Amino acid sequence: MPTEPALDEDIATARGTSGVPMIEFDSVVKKFGDNVVLDHLDFKVAAGDRVTLIGPSGSGKTTILRLLMTLEKVDGGVIRVKGEPLSHEKKGDRLVPASERHLRAMRRSIGMVFQQFNLFPNMNVMENLTEAPIHVLGRKKSEAQERARELLATVGLSDKETAHPTQLSGGQQQRVAIARALAMDPDILLLDEVTSALDPELVADVLDVLRTIAETTDITMLIVTHEMNFARDVSNRVLMFDQGRIVEEGTPEHIFTNPEQERTRRFLDAII
């Protein structure tokens, strides 16, 4: 019997998994040598949340995203995605360090867009968008291309299917990178300073695309940005970091108009 889409939600509710945070940092410690970058960090992100991480350079924001992408390993504590530990997996009732297979499976639910666009330089736009869906998710080429075309329309680049990255502006490359991350249908989108490498006149188009995605999907977003207007528009929560700790958190309204902590005020005064 075909499964009704709604049934999945019913099953999730019955199992109680619908209330599980999408992302959970549980007493996470990360060090580089003697430098303790994250010091027993705790926070949770619910499914569909749009959370912006702000704070001075070096406060650990990028490290949080890199840990989620499994580009770095924790030195203590646990990161969970949809309730599953990222760096460990269950063997019977024991937790053991994650195998490469487990890491690959966990990574699949997370898409990341970096400051530098990191497109495959030898592939055209369509190939950039379909490579992983075909080879990692096992999608049919025609299906992957259909989805890629939808996404290119979303990011306003339908006429660039056959262009190579070097033929595109930085803003266009970044929009392709966003479409490429979405082509994997991730539950979570990580955005790391996605406009900082762009000429100022190209920033607005990229932010508009991200606003549209925020408005039209329920994807969970974790955003590191210095674009405070964008953070205010798109996110429902802001976490202010300093030296690997959350010094204040709240709605954008609270953080940007009425911060309680002197540290937050000083940071915002310096960048706005």
Binding stretches for ligand ADP (CB under 6 A): 32, 35, 37, 55, 57-63
| CA–CA separation, 110 and 221 (whole Å) | 10
Q: Cα Rg for the chain, rounded, in angstroms?
A: 19
Shortest separation between residue 66's beta carbon and ligand ADP, angstroms = 7
**Residue nearer to ligand ADP on the CB measure, 57 or 122:** 57
SS3 147: helix
Shortest separation between residue 58's beta carbon and ligand ADP, angstroms = 4
| CA–CA separation, 4 and 263 (whole Å) | 50
- Number of C-alpha atoms within 13 angstroms, CB side, residue 121? 3
Shortest separation between residue 118's beta carbon and ligand ADP, angstroms = 17
**Residue nearer to ligand ADP on the CB measure, 55 or 111:** 55
The owner of tokens 């650990």 is 60
**Residue nearer to ligand ADP on the CB measure, 124 or 243:** 243
Query: Residue 156 is encoded by which pair of tokens?
Result: 């306003």
Alpha helices in the chain, H assignment, sequence order: 5-15, 61-68, 100-107, 125-135, 141-154, 170-182, 200-216, 228-234, 252-257, 262-271
Shortest separation between residue 57's beta carbon and ligand ADP, angstroms = 4
**Residue nearer to ligand ADP on the CB measure, 61 or 147:** 61
Shortest separation between residue 198's beta carbon and ligand ADP, angstroms = 18
**Residue nearer to ligand ADP on the CB measure, 144 or 231:** 231
